[in-house]
């Protein structure tokens, strides 16, 4: 019995030590007949020749800020001395429309548009006219004041005879202190009228020339 057991163990050990069965492997594929092209890319580094030695770095701009609102420049006016202002306002004779001569007078002029009681710059004013009829041998200058503040109109006053030149022209120079003190107003219109006479009386008269001349007490 023991002998049979020993033989069995020996056979068992022999079976375990036998070489393992080698499995057949697939044969490698035959090499392809088509050639394989290998492309290699070569990187070439280009170094620029005109690069400045030092490239300035970008400086960031400051953030925008709201500009404060600015007032427009004030208009400047050039002050004119009183003498120049008076000359500018009364440069040369002022002509009156012949229609206001009413057919009896033409070439009516004055040398300014204002005059005053005390101001030496415009204390005098000169009026001229020409009679259209040879029968007019005398021309009187009449005037009145009209208050500019309330519109009150005062009586007509005869300033007297105008000076003739024997060619039909007549002239009068009137000073601010020559006008009637009873009707002087510090801020008024000085209206006037030419009236022609002959030896028998009035022949013709101009229209009333109104609101063209101002009268003041002092310099304007």
pLDDT digits (tens, 9 = 90+) for 88-130: 455 568 999 999 999 999 999 999 999 999 888 888 999 999 9
For the residues 15-43, what does the mean pLDDT come to?
50
Give yes or no for residue 158 having a pLDDT over 50. Answer: yes
Among residues 136, 107, 109, 111, which one has the least CA distance to residue 122?
Answer: 111
Q: How confident is the model at residue 58 (pLDDT cuts 50, 70, 90)?
A: very low
Mean per-residue pLDDT over the chain, rounded: 75
Would you state the pLDDT for residue 65?
41
Closest alpha carbon to 114 in 79, 87, 84: 87
Residue 72 has pLDDT above 80, yes or no: no
pTM recorded for the entire structure: 0.59
DSSP per-residue letters across 143-171: EEEEETTT--B---EEEEEPEE-SSSEEE
Total residues found in the chain within this entry: 220
Predicted confidence at residue 171, as pLDDT, reads 98
Q: Please state the rounded mean pLDDT for residues 185-203.
A: 94
pLDDT reported for residue 173:
96
Q: In this structure, which CATH number among 3.40.605.10, 2.60.40.10, 2.40.50.180, 1.10.1740.10 belongs to the domain 92-216?
A: 2.60.40.10
CA distances from 138 to 152, 164, 204 (A): 31, 8, 11
């Amino acid at each position: 019995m023991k002998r049979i057991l020993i033989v069995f163990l020996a056979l068992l050990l022999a079976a375990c030590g036998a070489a393992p069965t080698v499995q057949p492997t697939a044969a490698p594929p035959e090499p392809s007949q088509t050639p394989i092209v290998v492309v290699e890319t070569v990187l070439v580094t280009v170094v620029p020749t005109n690069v400045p030695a030092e490239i300035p770095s970008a400086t960031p701009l400051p953030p925008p800020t709201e500009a404060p609102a600015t007032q427009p420049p004030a208009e400047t006016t050039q002050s004119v001395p009183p003498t120049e202002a008076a000359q500018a306002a009364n440069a040369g004779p002022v002509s009156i429309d012949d229609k206001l001569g009413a057919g009896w007078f033409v070439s009516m002029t004055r040398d300014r548009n204002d005059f005053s009681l005390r101001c030496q710059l415009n204390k005098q004013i000169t009026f001229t006219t020409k009679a259209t009829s040879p029968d007019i041998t005398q021309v009187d200058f009449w005037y009145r004041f009209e208050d500019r503040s309330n519109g009150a109109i005062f009586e007509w006053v005869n300033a007297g005879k105008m000076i003739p030149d024997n060619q039909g022209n007549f002239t009068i120079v009137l000073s601010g202190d020559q006008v009637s003190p009873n009707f002087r107003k510090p801020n008024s219109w000085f209206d006037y009228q030419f009236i022609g006479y002959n030896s028998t009386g009035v022949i013709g008269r101009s229209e009333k020339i109104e609101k063209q001349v101002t009268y003041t007490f002092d310099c304007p």
